[in-house]
Amino acid sequence: MSGAPSAWHAARRAVGEMLDPHGLNLVACSGGADSLALATAAAWHHHRATGPSAAAQVGGVVVDHDLHPDSVEVAGRTVSQLKKLGLEPVRIYSAHVDPESPLGPEAAARTGRYQAFRKAMVELGASRILLAHTKDDQVEQVLLGLARGSGTRSLAGIPSARGPFRRPLLNLSRSDTEAICEHYQLQWWNDPANADPRFLRSKIRTEILPYLERELSGSLRESLARTAKIAADDADYMESQAKDIFPVLLEDPDPNGALRLKLKALRAEPPAIRRRVIALAVAAAGGANPSFERLSAAEKLVTGSRSTGPVEMEGHIRIHRGARQTPDYGKLVIVPPSG
């Protein structure tokens, strides 16, 4: 392997750090350069005889979204290349994409894809799925977060690990993955949707990022990737602080499942922690992750709004401040849908 590009050695090391040596690891492969490069690095560990990742079992999962006329052919060619690399088992799964989804086509495809991943994990008995997001994907995610006015967690970009999912290639670029594929004579597929400006991520990739690099700095991608790393560290710390503080502020729930937070102590926390504690309470009551707008409305109940609420949150959760001369005075009350 001495003639392999340096990117391959970097990919191999990164994959080795994220493999489960005791379970089945599935490489999620679309047939693009990124996922085929990932599969090549994972296959090296699959065949390795010694070392920490010795005999790590690696298979492949190919998701067919059925969004273009060549999808069956692309999926079949991808399976063939994964099998030539020696991965086992290799399976194709179909993803249901709701064309009427209010979230838009990109989010609908992502939802269908992750449903297929979870089905594959159950049916094949896998413990981890390796995803081929690269530094370029990370940079695009940071710009998407900026465009949407999102918070620190969104600016942190794509996490390297979440649940059973691992992303070893976040420090490699698309040019790196293409170099790996060229070296190993793998035929990758270029999804036409990746260059379709109708999709916001594609527009960022093909128009906005190149423009910013020309007008601002050729090292913009590195700067944005560094921003993501800093934001991720900050977000991890603040979320850890909020998780430590949440049980201290939480009173015992009542039989109906309503949660109560100590208002004065919550008010004393910095806004970044306060909002995260409220979000944790909403999640604990069975709600979805709140938007910034709804969190801000709930926070006003803590910091002195004349209104006592209620504020409606995602998942039909209601938040109100206990009124004077009631047992809930001095408390922020989070009521689940059945409350």
User: Is 33 assigned a ligand-binding role in the annotation?
Assistant: yes
Backbone angles phi, psi at 199, to 5 degrees: -95, 130
- Known binding residue 34? Answer is yes
Q: What is the 3-state secondary structure (H, E, C) of the chain?
A: CCCCCHHHHHHHHHHHHHCCCCCEEEEECCCCHHHHHHHHHHHHHHHCCCCCCCCCEEEEEEEECCCCCCHHHHHHHHHHHHHHCCCCCEEEEECCCCCCCCCCHHHHHHHHHHHHHHHHHHHHCEEEEECCCCHHHHHHHHHHHHHHCCCHHHHCCCCCEECCEECCCCCCCHHHHHHHHHHCCCCCCCCHHHHCCCCHHHHHHHHHHHHHHHHCCCCHHHHHHHHHHHHHHHHHHHHHHHHHHHHHHECCCCCCCCEEEEHHHHHCCCHHHHHHHHHHHHHHCCCCCCCHHHHHHHHHHHHCCCCCCCEEECCCEEEEEECCCCCCECEEEEECCCC
Query: Are the C-beta atoms of 40 and 73 separated by less than 8 Å?
Result: no
Q: Which of 197, 207, 188 is nearest to 77 (CA)?
A: 188
Residue 35 counted as an annotated binding residue: yes
31 is in an annotated binding site: yes
Q: Which residue type occupies 330? A: G
Residues annotated in a binding site for ATP: 30-35
Residues annotated in a binding site: 30-35
